[in-house]
Amino acid sequence: MIEVYPEQYELLLEEKKKAIQILFKNVKHPELAVYRSTTSHFRERVEFKIWHEAGKISFAMFNKGDKKTPIKLTSFPRASEKIANLMPNLLKKIEASEMLSKRLFQIDFLTTLRGGTLVTLIYHKKLTEEWEEEARELKNTFDIDLIGRSRKQKIIFDKDYVIETLSVAGKHFKYQQIENSFTQPNAGVCEKMLTWAYENTQNSEGDLLELYCGNGNFTIPLSQNFNQVLATEIAKSSVKSALYNLESNNCENVNIVRLSSEEITQALNRDREFRRLAHLNLDDFKFKTIFVDPPRCGLDDKTLELVSTFDRIIYVSCNPETLRKNIEKLPDHKIDKFALFDQFPYTDHIECGVILSR
C-alpha cells in the first residue's frame, strides 16, 4: 500500500510554500494564497498496472525508472472513496475469471465528485465475444461504465465518459470527461482553482482569449465574466468534449477553434489565414484578457510575445520553474494575485496560478 500520513500534510504543504517563495524571491509578488487539498481520497483518476504471480493478480505501481519491482497494493488511500471501495471487490471478481484476468496488464479508474464511475481494462490479447459476455456481467455487477482496450480494439459498455458536476462560487457546472483524455485528477482542488479564477475576473471588461482550453474546464465558468470568449485547443477529443460542455452549460458567448498556440498567434498577427477561423471575424473581438494553462514546458517565445500584448494575463502553471522564466520575460506586467494549489499532496508537484496586469 502507498501510504498517506495526514499528520504530515501541513508540514509537506509548508515545504511547497517555502519552495515557491525561494523560487520567486527575486520576483515581486503579493502574499501567496495557499489552497489545500483533502488529506486522503483526493484522486478521481488513477491508473494501476496489474501484476500476475502464482495465479494471483494484484494492483501495482512502480518507482520511476524501475519497471521490474512492483509495489503491490492492497489499498490506495489517495484514490477517491469510490475507487478505494471498488478496488478489492473488482479485483476479486476479475481474478475469479480466467477470461477477464488472462493477459490483463492495466486497469484505469475515472470517477467524479457528483457522478458516475468508469473503469478501463487494458489487455495484451484480442477481446472476443466470450470476453464481452463476462465483461458485461462485470459492468452490471458493480453498476459502472466499462471499456475494454487491446491493440486496435476499444469496446465500450455503455459510454466512454463520465459527467462531473463542479461547484464554483455557488454555481454548478457540468463537464463531460472522456476516458484517456486529460482532466484535473483532484476535483476538490480543481473547484478551488476555478473559483479563484472566476472570482478574480468578475466585472471584467472586453473579451477573453484562452489557450490550451482542454474540455472547457476554465472556459465555462470564466465565460460568465466576459462579453465573448475565443478558446483554442489542439486535441480533437478535448475539442469535442468542450463543445458538448458548452452546450450542456448554455454557454452561448464562446467560440472554440482547434488551433495550437502557435497557429492562433499567427492568426491574430495576420501572418496566416486558417479555414478553421473562416466563420469568425477576429476584428469583432476586443481582447483585454488572456488565459493560459500550458504544458510543463511553459510558453514558447512566440506565444509569450502574443501574451505580452494583453492588459491582463491569467496563467495557471503545473511547473513553477517555467512559470518564473515566462514571467521574467514579461517586464511590463506585475503580479496582482499569486496562488498555490495543492493538486498532488504527498508529492513534489506544485500547481500555481498568477494574475498579471500591465
Catalytic residue numbers, as ranges: 318, 351
Alpha carbon distance 284, 164 (integer Å): 33
Give bridge partners of residue 314 from the DSSP assignment.
291, 355
Give the number of C-alpha atoms closer than 13 A to the C-alpha of residue 34, restricted to the C-beta side: 15
CA atoms within 13 A of residue 75's CA, in its CB half-sphere: 11
Residue 151 identity (one-letter amino acid): R
3-state class of 245 per DSSP? helix
Q: Which of 133, 62, 135, 77 is nearest to 104 (CA)?
A: 135
8 A C-beta contact, residue 148 and residue 174: no
Which 3 state secondary structure label does DSSP give 166? strand
Q: What grid cell was written down for 295?
A: 504544458
Between CA 224 and CA 251 the distance in angstroms is: 8
Closest CA to 51 of 89, 101, 108: 101
Stated as kind and residue range, the H or E segment containing 241 is helix 236-248
Neighbours of 119 (CB within 10 A): 23
231 bridge partner residues: 210, 256
Instruction: State how beta strands 56-61 and 207-211 pair.
Output: unpaired
Identify which of 225, 216, 228 has the alpha carbon closest to the alpha carbon of residue 281: 228
Q: How far apart are CA 94 and CA 25, in angstroms?
A: 52
How far apart (Å, rounded) are the C-alpha atoms in residues 350 and 17? Answer: 9
| Alpha carbon 22 to chain centroid, angstroms | 27
Rounded-to-integer distance, Cα 154 and Cα 121, Å = 10
Which contiguous run of DSSP H or E holds residue 107?
strand 104-111
